[in-house]
Amino acid sequence: MRIRGLRYLTRLISFLTWCAVGSVARYVVPAPFLYCHSCPLALGICPIGAIQYALTMGRVPLLPVGALLLYGTLLGRAYCGLMCPIGALQDALHWLGRRLGISSERVRRVLSSIPYWVAPVVSIVLTVVLPPILGTLVFCYICISGFLLAGIPWRVILGELGIGLSFLIHLVVFVTFAILALLGGRFWCRLLCPFSVLGLCNSVRLFLRLKVDYGRCTKCLRCLGMCPMSIGAVEDVGTSPHCISCLLCSEVCPQKAVVIEM
Amino acid sequence: MVPRSLIRYILLAVAALLLILSVLLREYVVYIPLLKFICSACAGL
């Protein structure tokens, strides 16, 4: 099976598995990807929401931070490439953009030029610094996952919920990142996603490490052309904190120079 | 230079410590309301 098809299968299986685990131990299994515990069918907690919630309550978020550290050490940022539904949505939009011929190389260069520190710094400010000061879950006001899994479903279910400023902010953020995904790829992951901090563990993770065999590599750069994160150099494949281990580089390499170490 | 495997196991040990502490201190009780109420920020209320 092609890796691209396999990725959609792993996302579905991992999402269902996590839901099954979450339904048994609801409050002690934070999701390893962007999720929303305000979803009508929520079976577990979002670690990002939980961190903010604990901080606004004046508590130390031991459980979500410990879980994130564990997830990062096991698989680095592979959850973003193999599990995250928001990542899957962006990939699907980018695929659609390519099919429609509106994917832009200039936009991809912009995506490629965003330094790694942007997403972790912005998300730490929004999830760790501001919530205890303002007493509210600041990141959740712009979270795409909250918009798709809670904002829209609750409006469909309850009907009478209005469309206020908060919903409009969600809508603007979602539309912006959907357009950017159509044109260039995973802007949300490189600009705002708090799970980007898992990338710091990419070089020390236990499983699913990618290595480039430079003896085989002919520098054809097909791997970089397919990369949904627009990684800019072959040397960064597998080791860059941007790398989400989507394995597309391994699939498209004609020399099979990108080796997957389980 | 610190070997990567050492960093890896230190991170795992810290993660395990945090998770064990969270269970011992029954920290998960703090998060129970998250699944019982609709978060106004998430749902854009």
Predicted complex ipTM:
0.93
B43:A161 CB<8 A: yes
Q: How far is A176 from chain B (nearest CA, A)?
A: 17
Q: Does B10 touch chain A (CB under 8 A)?
A: no
| Nearest in space to A93 (alpha carbons), one of A208, A194, A174 | A174
Q: Tokens 């898992």 map to which residue?
A: A198
Nearest residue in A to B18, CA atom: A66
B42:A45 CB<8 A: no
Cα B15 to Cα A21, A115, B18, B40: the distances in Å are 19, 27, 5, 31
Q: Does B2 touch chain A (CB under 8 A)?
A: no
Which among A49, A62, A204 has the least Cβ separation from residue B8? A204
What is the pTM assigned to this prediction? 0.90
Q: Does B8 touch chain A (CB under 8 A)?
A: yes
DSSP E strands, chain A: 209-212, 258-261
Nearest residue in B to A203, CA atom: B4
Nearest residue in B to A47, CA atom: B31
Q: Tokens 């389980």 map to which residue?
A: A262
A67:B42 CB<8 A: no
Q: Tokens 């996952």 map to which residue?
A: A145
Cα A97 to Cα A8, A107, A143, A170, A185: the distances in Å are 18, 12, 23, 22, 9
Cα A162 to Cα A80, A158, A159, B43: the distances in Å are 32, 10, 8, 11
Quick one: average pLDDT of B23-34? Answer: 88
**How do the pLDDT tens digits run along chain A, 262 residues long?**
566 667 777 777 877 777 666 666 666 688 888 888 888 877 778 999 999 999 999 999 999 999 999 999 999 999 898 888 899 899 999 999 999 999 888 998 888 899 999 999 999 999 999 999 999 999 999 999 999 988 898 888 887 777 888 889 999 999 999 999 999 889 999 999 999 999 999 888 888 888 899 999 999 999 998 888 888 888 888 888 999 988 889 889 999 899 888 7
The interaxial angle of helices A105-113 and A165-183, nearest 10 deg, is 110
A49:B21 CB<8 A: no
Q: How far is A106 from chain B (nearest CA, A)?
A: 33
Specify the pLDDT at position A155.
87
Q: Does B15 touch chain A (CB under 8 A)?
A: yes
